[in-house]
Chain A
Amino acid sequence: MTASSSLELVQVRDVTLQYKTPDHLVTATYKVSCTVEQGDRYVILGPSGCGKSTLLKAVGGFIKPVGGTIVVNGREVREPGPDRMMVFQEFEQLMPWKTVLQNVMFPMQATGKYWKSETRERALAAIDKVNLTKFKDVYPHMLSGGMKMRVAIARAMALEPDVLLMDEPFAALDALTRRKMQEELLALWDQLRFTVLFVTHSIEEAIVVGSRILILSPHPGRVRAELEAGDLSYADLDSPAFGALAKRIHTLLFEAPAPGTSSEGARPLAAAS
């Protein structure tokens, strides 16, 4: 391989994914290829029905590709594993019968990756990083949506996965909390420089969170473009660079006019640019 191969962490090669509903066999993605490098904040962006969540689940090992291969850190993905921790959109991903601390400790105990004495320390450190130390002995049902999401992120991070998979993690949050969580995620990334694969349907979120953006077309999902997103943040919301990128993504997503399929994040940005 080339010299850059040591940086290549996730390699998706010609992946075709299909799933069955009771009546249909649906092709979610068709021959999708992409490469995620070490330390990327790699965003998969696309309208609903482009198979972006299915692609992420395939990287997680929950769905087997019909064609193509997925390689993470040199090993082909065959089943779910703790080297690819997933953070979901729904709040039920936390175990309601465990406290925050126990929830964060659980994957470490279940996988046996760390010594028993070490798990507690690591869990406490991870909880501290997401500012939940005060709530470590509380059960999830007493936390707000944003806090639950923080616990889920801490739980995934504590295991030091090769890659963090996030499936629209902030979509169920209110707009203000979502923005705060995006900023916290970036602050955490600044500290730890982990690799994250992030699925979203919001152009704004893709630009703010991502360092690189893969754009998929719908029905079935195929690669449309891959763009460099740089370090644009909410502070640059009014800058020409932000507007131009948003407009470019918007055009790539909605080139062929399809009435009634605009995504929620797209409208205000298109108006601003």
Chain B
Amino acid sequence: MSVTHTLSPASTPAPAKPKAPRPRADFECALADASGIGEVQRRLSLPERLANNDAVRRAAVLVLLLVIWEVYARWADNPLLFPTFSLTLETFLHDLLDGTLIDRTRTSLYPLALGYAGGIALAALFTSLAVSSRIGADILTTLTAMFNPLPAIAVLPLALIWFGLGVPSLVFVIIHSVLWAVSLSTLTGFRSVPETLRLSGRNCGLKGVRYVALILIPAAFPAILAGLKIGWAFAWRTLVAAELVFGVSSRSGGLGWYIFEARAELDTPKVFAGLFTVILIGLLVESVIFRVIEAKTVQKWGMQR
């Protein structure tokens, strides 16, 4: 009896459901006066607009990190292990002004630019082959699957045997680190171009190189750009790591050698200044060059938020 009582719907009081919607009278009325709301469109206040600005928000994050660094280093008070930001900055400015850092950076940037450009050129060649034939695609996917996970540093000993100590070895390992990452994302980008867009391109009679250049590359540009960014990061870290491993080729080493040298001299502020330079260049390329390219292309086209 009690069981049937709890299961009975009548025990929970609910409004009775009518069989059909209740008919109500129609009405028409004049529009309400909307002038009470004031301006329909109002400019946001300055703090609101600043908070919407990416650069301002990121700069704030950067400043916060620097403050934490400075406070912690002062509290730890051990310049040999963890120098303060101000000390690092001082060393950085000193070496920047006497030209050492600029020299080192230039030495590093030369093989970097060569390797990056070479990697991209090869990636363009490989992906062009991959989109034009199925076997080309199979070759590229297999090669990427094999070589992309292989750390560039692991290839360095081989590069040293083949090319000896110097720029060619560096360029070789940088190409290795750029090529597969860029190819992979470019191929993914090409593959995700909407079918309709391909058909409209072919409808205009486009074929071969013109089809790739006028339809596929712009349509896959978000993925290609992402690949270029990853490739850049890979190239940069490969270069610094390679310099740390085989040090100096002739008399002038790059940034990696600068850091390595400072460590040998237990000059920790200098190690920090070297790392600082690496980070600074990375930030600069990322937030200036790539940002501008993004804003002028994929964001303007609405292909990326």
Task: From B203, B206, B221, name the one whose CB has the most chain A CB atoms within 10 angstroms.
Answer: B203
Smallest CB separation, B96 vs chain A (Å): 40
Contact of B196 among A84, A92, A139 (CB under 8 A): A92
Is B75 interfacial (CB-CB < 8 Å)?
Answer: no
What residues of chain A lie closer than 8 Å to B219, measured between beta carbons? 95-97
Smallest CB separation, B72 vs chain A (Å): 45
Is B79 interfacial (CB-CB < 8 Å)?
Answer: no
Bound state CA distance, A131 and B215, in angstroms?
Answer: 27
What residues of chain A lie closer than 8 Å to B204, measured between beta carbons? 82, 106-107, 110-111
Instruction: Kindly report which residue of chain B lies nearest to residue A57, judged by CB atoms.
Output: B199
- 8 Å CB contacts to A: which residues of B199-226? 199-200, 202-206, 210, 214-215, 218-219, 221
CB <8 Å contact, A80 and B302: no
Smallest CB separation, A184 vs chain B (Å): 21
CB <8 Å contact, B302 and A111: no
CB <8 Å contact, B221 and A82: no
A contacts with B, residue count (CB < 8 A): 24
Give the interface SS of chain B, mostly helix, strand, loop or mixed.
Answer: helix
What residues of chain A lie closer than 8 Å to B199, measured between beta carbons? 57, 60, 62, 80, 86, 88, 93
Smallest CB separation, B251 vs chain A (Å): 48
Contact of B302 among A60, A93, A106, A142 (CB under 8 A): A142
CB <8 Å contact, B202 and A80: yes
Interface 1/0s, chain A 9-42, versus B by CB < 8 A?
0000000000000000000000000000000000
CB <8 Å contact, A141 and B203: no
What residues of chain A lie closer than 8 Å to B210, measured between beta carbons? 110
Bound state CA distance, A93 and B214, in angstroms?
Answer: 14
Is A183 interfacial (CB-CB < 8 Å)?
Answer: no
| 5 A-B contacts (beta carbon < 8 Å) | A88-B199, A92-B197, A93-B199, A95-B215, A97-B303
Chain A positions near chain B (C-beta within 8 angstroms): 57, 60, 62, 80-82, 84-86, 88, 90, 92-93, 95-97, 106-107, 110-111, 139-142
Additional 14 contacts, C-beta under 8 A, given A86-B203, A90-B196, A141-B303: A57-B199, A82-B205, A88-B196, A92-B194, A92-B197, A93-B196, A93-B199, A93-B200, A95-B200, A97-B297, A107-B204, A110-B206, A139-B300, A139-B301
The 9 closest A-B pairs by CB, nearest first: A141-B302, A92-B194, A110-B204, A90-B196, A107-B204, A97-B218, A96-B301, A93-B196, A80-B202
